[in-house]
Amino acid sequence: MSSQAPTTSESKQEVLDLAARFVCPNRVETFQMLGSPPVMGRREGHYFWDFDGRKLFDVHINGGTFSLGHRNPEIVAALHEAIDRYDVGNHHFASEGRARLAETLARVSPGALRYSVFAASGGEANDIAIKSARWATGRRRIVSLIGSFHGHTGLSLPAGDVENAKLFLSDGAGREFEQVPFNDLAAMRKALAERDVAAVIMETIPATYGFPLPEKDYLSAVKSLCDEYGSLYIADEVQTGLGRTGKMWGVEWYGVEPDILVTGKGLSGGMYPIAAAVLSERAGGWLREKGWGHVSTFGGSEIGCHVALQVLKILERPGVLENVQEMSEYLGEGLLRLQQHHPFLKGIRRCGLVIGLEFDNPLGGVLMSAAGYEVGLWAFFAGFERSVLQFKPGILIERNECDELLLLLEKAICLCEERLEAGVEGPSV
Ligand SMILES: Cc1ncc(COP(=O)(O)O)c(C=O)c1O
């Protein structure tokens, strides 16, 4: 796509040059190719401002990290309070923050989940989930979905992003990790039938695959298969948890009570890293036997716990989850109206404010990311399904902000349609 992005300011170019020299050259190059190399400057609420001053309505929100908005004042205040009182703490000791956060997570989680093991990232929390399932079952194999993403740490990587696992010779020896197609129960049964699978790890609505919605009874049937064959069900709720679907956890829509629930991203309020694997009595059995079976200096830092407690307090406030539902319906109606005028918008996948927009072009999501950047909308395509644009507004969004968002989206769609009609070549990502 020919880049119509305005010229890059000197200060922004300096950051891009430094990032290319000392951080990750390929990432900088890829964003340049897409015509959308943002460098975040000021940030507030639903918006962030590029170093060039461009205001962007953020509906990527880093996978849900900024679900309560950028620098939500209540979260900023909680962080200030925490740093006035605490430091990261000593991970060997019991701590008030960890204890209270674990108790709260157990209370708000579905079913009989009990123990929380804390981490600094979703990938680490998924590693803990997999280790716990292996301990509980005495089995090694892990089954996941083709197109799933669970992080880039030691075990989460081969469980999800197989291509990058291969890059680092980490794709799992023999049949340790297996992937089956989404919504395919027969394939799942076949994978579990030998009774040697420790766990099935499932994103409730696979984000990097473009948020395809599970068929009505699929997830509960997978849980029944797990029970039948003695495997544990790990719900990776890193993107679908914490109210984003209109319930506290996405699995609640599908009647699943997982053995392990993994949360991250938004749990930090976008301010201080924290993630957790919430374990059933059985999955967490090792915690009764081996207190040091898993250790992490920064996992469950006391500052992060304080921030996460404030996040959960906000989510439990009356009206917050209801707002997600209302705004989802409102946006849904607007999206349908847009679709009537723009067949380029081919499909709408929506569960609360977890939304994937499918476009009528194999690179439609990529084209829309670039066009969005030009009109003031920051949305990102789904890495494993590039016809889809991830469209994830913050959960405190209001009606007038939805209207603004729909206008920006329509502008970006028009820009793409014009370019496609003119035969402008898209980026080759
Ligand atoms: C569903 C899901 N699980 C796990 C992760 C990994 O989280 P982190 O990047 O914090 O390790 C991600 C990150 O995008 C994710 O989308």
pLDDT, tens only, 9-25: 888 999 999 999 999 99
* pLDDT the model gives residue 35: 80
C-alpha of residue 277 to centroid of ligand 1, in Å: 13
Among 7-21, 282-296, 314-328, the least confident range: 7-21
Which ligand 1 atom minimizes the distance to the CA of 125? 11
Please report the pLDDT score of residue 428 as a whole number.
58
Q: Does the C-beta of 270 come closer than 6 Å to ligand 1?
A: no
Can you give the pLDDT at residue 8? Answer: 74
Percent of the chain with pLDDT over 70: 97
Test site for ligand 1: of 149, 164, 251, 262, most ligand atoms within 8 A of the Cβ: 149
Question: Per residue in 218-240, pLDDT tens?
Answer: 999 999 999 999 999 999 999 99
Is any atom of ligand 1 closer than 6 Å to the C-beta of 269? no
Indicate if ligand 1 lies below 6 Å from the C-beta of 264: yes
Determine which residue's CA is closest to atom 2 belonging to ligand 1: 150
User: What pLDDT does residue 302 have?
Assistant: 98
3-class DSSP string for the chain: CCCCCCCCCHHHHHHHHHHHHHCCHHHHHHHHHHCCCCCEEEEEECEEEECCCCEEEECCHHHHCCCCCECCHHHHHHHHHHHHHCCCCCCCCCCHHHHHHHHHHHHHCCCCEEEEEEECCHHHHHHHHHHHHHHHHCCCEEEEECCCCCCCCCCHHHHCCHHHHHHCCCCCCCCCEEEECCCCHHHHHHHHCCCCEEEEEEECCCCCCCCCCCCCCHHHHHHHHHHHHCCEEEEECCCCCCCCCCCCCHHHHHCCCCCEEEECHHHHCCCCCCEEEEEECCCCCHHHHCCCCCCCCCCCCHHHHHHHHHHHHHHCCCCHHHHHHHHHHHHHHHHHHHHHHCCCEEEEEEECCEEEEEECCCCHHHHHHHHHHHHCEECEEECCEEEEEEECCCCCCCHHHHHHHHHHHHHHHHHHHHHHHCCCCCCCC
Residue 7 is predicted with a pLDDT of 58
Q: What is the pLDDT of residues 354-395, one digit of tens each?
A: 999 999 999 999 999 999 999 999 999 999 999 999 999 999
Query: Is any atom of ligand 1 closer than 6 Å to the C-beta of 236?
Result: yes
Task: Show the domains of the chain with their CATH numbers.
Answer: 10-71+319-421 (3.90.1150.10), 73-315 (3.40.640.10)
Q: What is the mean pLDDT of residues 79-104?
A: 98
pLDDT of residue 52: 87
| Mean pLDDT value of segment 153-169 | 94
Does any ligand 1 atom lie closer than 6 A to the CB of residue 239?
yes
**Per-residue pLDDT at 10:** 84
Distance 209 CA to ligand 1 centre (A): 13
- Kindly state if the Cβ of 122 falls inside 6 Å of ligand 1: yes
Ligand 1 centre and the CA of 199: distance in Å? 18
**Mean local confidence (pLDDT), 172-183:** 89
With cut-offs at 50, 70 and 90, classify the pLDDT of residue 3. Answer: very low
Work out the mean pLDDT of the chain and round it to a whole number.
Answer: 95
One-letter identity of residue 245: T
pLDDT at 36 > cutoff 80? no
List the residue whose alpha carbon is closest to atom 3 of ligand 1: 150
Q: Is 203 in the pocket of ligand 1 (CB under 6 A)?
A: yes
Question: Residue 429: its pLDDT value, please?
Answer: 57
Alpha-carbon distance of 208 to 90, in angstroms, equals 35
Task: Specify the residue with its C-alpha closest to ligand 1, atom 4.
Answer: 150
How high is the pLDDT of residue 175?
Answer: 78
pLDDT in tens, 113-141: 999 999 999 999 999 999 999 999 999 99
Pocket lining: 63 vs ligand 1, CB cutoff 6 Å: yes
- Residue 234, ligand 1, Cβ within 6 A: no
Q: Ligand 1 atom 16: the closest Cα is on which residue?
A: 239
CA 314 – CA 158 distance, rounded (Å): 35
pLDDT in tens, 95-116: 999 999 999 999 999 999 999 9
Total-model pTM: 0.96
Q: How high is the pLDDT of residue 76?
A: 98
So what's the pLDDT on residue 1? 41
Ligand 1 center to residue 6 CA distance, Å? 32
Distance 207 CA to ligand 1 centre (A): 9
Q: Looking at residue 223, what is its pLDDT? A: 98
